[in-house]
Chain A
Amino acid sequence: MANIVQSTDLTKRRRGLSRRLPTRGPSNIILGIIAIVWLVPTVSLLVISLRPEADFGVSGWWKALLAPSSLTFSNYRVLFDQGFVAGGLLDSLMTSIEITVPATLLVVLFACFAGHSLVFGRWRGRDVVFLIVVGLMVVPVQVALIPVVQFYHELGNLFGLNPYGTIPGVIIFHVAFGLPFGIFLMRNFMSGIPKDLLEAARMEGAGEWKVFYRIVLPLALPALASLAIFQFIWVWNDLLVALVFLGGNAHTPLTVFLYDQNHELQANYWIISTGAIVSVIVPLIVFFSFQRYFVRGVLAGAVK
Chain B
Amino acid sequence: MASVVLRNLTKQYSGNNAPSLDMLNLEIADGEFVCLVGPSGCGKTTALRMIAGLEDVTSGEIEIGGRIVNDLPSRDRDIALVFQSYALYPHLTVADNMSFGLKLRKVPKAEIEQAVQSAAKILDLVDLLKRKPAQLSGGQRQRVALGRALVRDPAVFLMDEPLSNLDAKLRVQTRAEIAQLHHRLQATMLYVTHDQVEAMTMADRIAVINLGVLEQYGTPRDLYNFPNNQFVAGFIGSPSMNFVSMRINRDVERVHLTGMSADSNIKVTLTDEQSDILRKSDGSDIVVGVRPEHLIEGSIDHAGFSAVAKVEVIEFLGNDEHIHATSDETDLVAILNAHSSVARGDSITLSAPLDTVHFFDPTSGLRLS
| CB <8 Å contact, B54 and A199 | yes
Assuming the contacts A194-B85, A300-B90, asked whether A203 and B135 have C-beta atoms less than 8 A apart, the reply is no
Distance of A303 from chain B, by nearest CB (Å) = 4
Cα distance, A79 to B2, chains bound together (Å): 75
| CB <8 Å contact, A303 and B86 | yes
A147 on interface, CB distance cutoff 8 Å: no
| CB <8 Å contact, B74 and A302 | no
Distance of B333 from chain A, by nearest CB (Å) = 27
Distance of B81 from chain A, by nearest CB (Å) = 6
B132 on interface, CB distance cutoff 8 Å: yes
| CB <8 Å contact, B75 and A204 | yes
Distance of B237 from chain A, by nearest CB (Å) = 30
The residue on B at minimum CB distance from A197 is B87
How does the 8 Å CB contact mask read for B114-157 relative to A, with 1 for contact and 0 for none?
00000000000000000011111010010000001000100000
Residues of B close to A199: CB separation below 8 A: 54, 74, 81, 83, 87
Of the listed stretches B28-36, B99-107, B173-181, B184-192, name the one at the interface; the rest are far from the partner chain.
B99-107
Assuming the contacts A299-B90, A303-B87, asked whether A203 and B104 have C-beta atoms less than 8 A apart, the reply is no
B244 on interface, CB distance cutoff 8 Å: no
| CB <8 Å contact, A202 and B75 | yes
Interface size class of A (residues with CB under 8 A): 20 to 34
Distance of A99 from chain B, by nearest CB (Å) = 33
| CB <8 Å contact, A196 and B87 | yes
A278 on interface, CB distance cutoff 8 Å: no
Residues of B close to A197: CB separation below 8 A: 87, 89
Which of B52, B133, B152, B165 is in CB contact (< 8 Å) with A302?
A: B133
Interface size class of B (residues with CB under 8 A): 20 to 34
A200 on interface, CB distance cutoff 8 Å: yes
Residues of A close to B53: CB separation below 8 A: 203
Residues of A close to B79: CB separation below 8 A: 203
A145 on interface, CB distance cutoff 8 Å: no
Residues of A close to B280: CB separation below 8 A: none
Cα distance, A99 to B90, chains bound together (Å): 36
Distance of A255 from chain B, by nearest CB (Å) = 38
Residues of A close to B132: CB separation below 8 A: 301
Assuming the contacts A201-B100, A204-B152, A205-B101, asked whether A194 and B74 have C-beta atoms less than 8 A apart, the reply is no
How does the 8 Å CB contact mask read for A219-253 relative to B, with 1 for contact and 0 for none?
10000000000000000000000000000000000
Distance of A189 from chain B, by nearest CB (Å) = 14
| CB <8 Å contact, A302 and B86 | yes
B248 on interface, CB distance cutoff 8 Å: no
How does the 8 Å CB contact mask read for B67-85 relative to A, with 1 for contact and 0 for none?
0000001110001110101
Assuming the contacts A206-B104, A297-B134, A300-B134, asked whether A200 and B90 have C-beta atoms less than 8 A apart, the reply is no
How does the 8 Å CB contact mask read for A279-304 relative to B, with 1 for contact and 0 for none?
00000000000000000011111111
Which of A200, A205, A218 is in CB contact (< 8 Å) with B81?
A: A200
Residues of A close to B311: CB separation below 8 A: none
Distance of A230 from chain B, by nearest CB (Å) = 23
| CB <8 Å contact, A301 and B90 | yes
B47 on interface, CB distance cutoff 8 Å: no
Assuming the contacts A203-B75, A206-B75, asked whether A301 and B100 have C-beta atoms less than 8 A apart, the reply is no
Assuming the contacts A203-B79, A219-B91, asked whether A301 and B134 have C-beta atoms less than 8 A apart, the reply is yes
Cα distance, A218 to B136, chains bound together (Å): 20
| CB <8 Å contact, B81 and A301 | no
Cα distance, A177 to B54, chains bound together (Å): 37
Residues of A close to B90: CB separation below 8 A: 219, 298-302
The residue on A at minimum CB distance from B52 is A203
Residues of B close to A214: CB separation below 8 A: 100
Distance of A198 from chain B, by nearest CB (Å) = 9
A14 on interface, CB distance cutoff 8 Å: no
| CB <8 Å contact, B75 and A205 | yes
A210 on interface, CB distance cutoff 8 Å: yes
Task: Supply 15 A–B pairs (Cβ within 8 Å), ascending by A.
Answer: A199-B81, A200-B89, A203-B74, A204-B100, A204-B101, A204-B152, A205-B104, A205-B105, A297-B134, A301-B132, A301-B134, A302-B87, A302-B133, A303-B85, A304-B86
